[in-house]
A = this chain, B = another copy of it.
Amino acid sequence: MATPQERSWQVSEARFFPDRLHHSETIYTVGNGYMGLRATFEEDYPGQFVSTLVHGIFDHAEGELVPELVNLPNPLPITIEVDGETFGLDHGTVLGFSRVLDLKQASLSRGVTWRNSKGAVVQITFERFASLEQEHLLAQRVVVRALTQPCTIRIVASIDGRQTNEGVWHWAELDSGPADKQRIYVFGETGQSHYHIAVMSSLIAADPAHAITTLPSPIHQPALMSEFTLDVDQAATFDKFNALHTSRDPGDPLVAAHLTLDDAQARGWDALLTAHAAEWATYWHESDIEIEGDEPAQRAIRFAMYHVLIAAPRHDENVSIGAKTLAGLGYKGHVFWDTELFMLPFLTVTQPDLARNLVMYRYHRLLGARKKARENGFEGAMFPWESTDTGEETTPRWSLPEPDGTRFRIWTGDTEQHISTDIAYAVLQFWRWTGDDDFFAKYGAEIVLDTAIFWGSRIEYNDGQDRFELSMQIGPDEYHENVNNSAFTNSMVRWHLQSALQVRDWLLEHRAAEANALFSSIGLTDDKVAHWREIIDKMYVPHDEQRGILEQFDGFFNLQPLNLAHWQPRTANMDWILGHEPIQHIMVIKQADIVMLMALLGDEFGSVEERLRNWQLYWPVADHGSSLSLSIHAWVAARLGLVDQAYELYMRGAAIDLEDSKGNVRDGIHGAASGGLWEAIVFGFAGVSVKNGELVVDPHLPAHWKKMTFRVRVNGKQQTVRLSAE
């Protein structure tokens, strides 16, 4: 049991509910920006979803539509025999169970008091962390204590190399065995992508000393073992250190794994945990938000930030954060706009070094984006809707078959084109907050301008109306596919081209030499610039002049109305209920669309009255069928002064992962929902922005938040924001 102060840093459960098995596996995930491991049990449990993911290790298996992050060999297994009987939660008697995720030091601990069928009672505690200081290291500790009678204990620590991605086998080669007398390894080479990976584990009897031996074991499951007896109230502590290296890292993976374990063993558990916790203390010093007077809201934001931080690469600018982070196989580890518009802002504002890696991930993938543009008959850079290691489009074109065998066409990879502008927006935000002109001139500007070139070639001129249009688009609201003149997309494209002009001017003024090199490299001619100006002037955005509101797309106001207020309570999404085709004709939207536009553009969208008018039309028809919706609504509601509603939306957003309110957390953490909660607080309630390099704060706090404190970085300088209810 914890003090309220501790409690606000913890997610915990005091009993084991098999009902919540997969939800808990996801939310208790540990990670360090390199690897992420679901909170499956060391001793195994029927039906658990094991996943061990390392950034960047994608593979496109034969017969699969798209590549996916590979589920690596599982380093977690530790089985414990008590007088010959294997410990497990599904047999014997569980006398007690508790699990605590300590967000502050990013470690997971679990205790079980267990009685075997012959009456011997043992206390078993597990602890694990993925070291933030040494990112290749996953450390585990197990303590076994005999409580009622002397016991013979056998501990078997193994690596399970038989993992698949829900049945898909990704290995061209898999090799395993003892690495030395107290080490085991699994080495693999992926079939299509030819990445090499090594997982190596050592078992150490930390207290007291016991002999460790390798164990003859089934194929792909190398194992180490220790056997000993415990007197009543005597305990034994073992550490299992696991090293994960791949051919994306320096050096031979197996050699590097040995070095990682040598170092870990020499330093020992306490030193490793101390160093890990110290790194986390720095993370939280940069990123924490303190909310006084609302424990649930406080815990929720820390939990959300934890999950973005454990997924954010620290030392690698060629990987990015997938939609479900590294906490599950959902969306196959693919990177969407979720990263740039939902998760990245938190890092841009509090830890720009981490944000920079994610921006660079896109920079390095301009080749893929240019390829996509070219193949579609356009110029410039057209980013893929779903991105992996190569930067090519990896959105599947067809869904998995429905029970009746039908599949439907997935259009997002073809027509959800706003992703290119979303990335440009994020890059500009990064520049605005960091003031890092060198970085922007060298990398950022190219992204903004080359995607603008794409739009210049993509735009459609409507001769009859003398205006520019965009047909066949999917806006944020994915319930309505291939619409014409998405107000979100058209508005953002206009904003994008305006920004591109400003970027061009700035480059010419401040970095003339680089500017000309860049313009010539990407083919930014004066003709193109003139065309942009024309588009900006004549861009069509559907709207209702009389009511003073935007129309989400051509014909939106003619859709069939549906009173969503009557569809409560509801966990299922409206498209799933009504069907993919029928919902195209119904006025229910998946998520913030016009509202998203208001979030991104703020004052530039229009006056408060104008935004309120649009809000009144669009929030009642939002299904929040996407986890990207609630937090954006909270952000906009807070900016409009609708604080109570904003708070309610924020708390519903917090429930997506913590309470599994949408019932799909088993697939992984909703990374965008996590980042979105941060946006709702900092951009929404606190009203933080940067204008002309200066921090602006315009708070609308919920009345019961007595105080709120957080730090931001503007132009590289950390500033503390302290707000109070008054």
Given A233-B566, A293-B293, A577-B115, verify A15-B571 contact (CB < 8 Å).
yes
A567 in complex: contacting residue of B2, B19, B113, B659, CB < 8 Å: B113
Q: Which of B112, B295, B568, B663 contacts A295 (CB 8 A)?
A: B295
Roughly how many angstroms separate A546 CA and B682 CA in the complex, as a whole number? 61
Check: A508 CB closer than 8 A to any chain B CB. no
A235 neighbours in B (Cβ, 8 Å): 566
Is A272 part of the binding interface, using a Cβ–Cβ cutoff of 8 Å? no
Q: Enumerate chain B residues within 8 angstroms of A3, measured Cβ to Cβ.
A: 644, 647-648
Q: Does A615 contact B (CB under 8 A)?
A: no
Q: How far is the CB of A89 from chain B (nearest CB, A)?
A: 12
A567 touches B147 (CB 8 A): yes
Complex partner residue of A1 from B19, B145, B651, CB under 8 angstroms: B651
Whether B648 contacts A569 by the Cβ 8 Å rule is no
A572 at the B interface (CB under 8 A)? yes
Give, as a whole number of angstroms, the nearest-CB distance from A579 to chain B.
9
Q: Is the CB of A569 within 8 A of B111?
A: yes
Give the contacts of A109-136 with B (CB-CB under 8 A): 111-113, 115, 121, 123
> Which residues in B have their C-beta under 8 angstroms from that of A282?
none
Which residue of B1, B113, B563 contacts A648 across the interface (Cβ within 8 Å)? B1
Q: Is the CB of B113 within 8 A of A568?
A: yes
Distance from A544 Cβ to chain B, minimum over Cβ atoms (Å)? 25
- Chain A, residues 628-661, CB within 8 Å of chain B (1/0): the string is 0000000000000000100110011001000111
A296 within 8 A of B: yes
B1, B94, B652: the one contacting A652 at CB < 8 Å is B1
Q: Determine whether A690 belongs to the interface, using a CB cutoff of 8 Å to chain B.
A: no
Neighbour of A294 across the interface among B1, B295, B652, B660, CB < 8 A: B295
Segment from A95-103, A166-174, A203-211 that makes contact with B: A95-103
A219 at the interface (CB under 8 A from B): no
Could you tell me if B15 and A17 are in contact, using CB atoms closer than 8 angstroms? Answer: no
Shortest distance from the beta carbon of A564 to any chain B beta carbon, whole Å: 10
Q: Does A84 contact B (CB under 8 A)?
A: no
Q: Which of B15, B295, B644, B660 is close to A661, meaning CB atoms less than 8 Å apart?
A: B15
Contact A659:B4 (CB < 8 A) given known A113-B570, A233-B566: no
Q: Please indicate the chain B residues that have their CB under 8 angstroms from the CB of A578 in the complex.
A: 148
B95 touches A577 (CB 8 A): yes
User: Which B residues are in CB contact (< 8 Å) with A660?
Assistant: 15
Answer yes or no: A18 CB below 8 A from chain B CBs: yes
A722 touches B (CB below 8 Å): no
A24, B318: Cα distance in complex, Å = 49
A84 to chain B, nearest CB (A): 21
Known: A18-B19, A96-B568, A97-B569. 4 other contacts (CB 8 A): A14-B661, A96-B572, A123-B566, A295-B295
A-B contact pairs, 20 of them (CB 8 A): A1-B651, A4-B647, A4-B702, A14-B659, A17-B19, A17-B20, A96-B568, A96-B569, A97-B569, A97-B571, A111-B568, A113-B568, A113-B569, A113-B570, A115-B577, A123-B567, A148-B577, A233-B566, A293-B293, A706-B706
The 7 closest A-B pairs by CB, nearest first: A96-B570, A96-B569, A19-B19, A98-B569, A95-B572, A111-B569, A1-B648
Q: Which residues of A contact B (CB under 8 A)?
A: 1-5, 14-15, 17-20, 93-98, 111-113, 115, 121, 123, 145, 147-148, 233, 235, 293-296, 563, 566-572, 577-578, 644, 647-648, 651-652, 655, 659-661, 663, 702, 704, 706
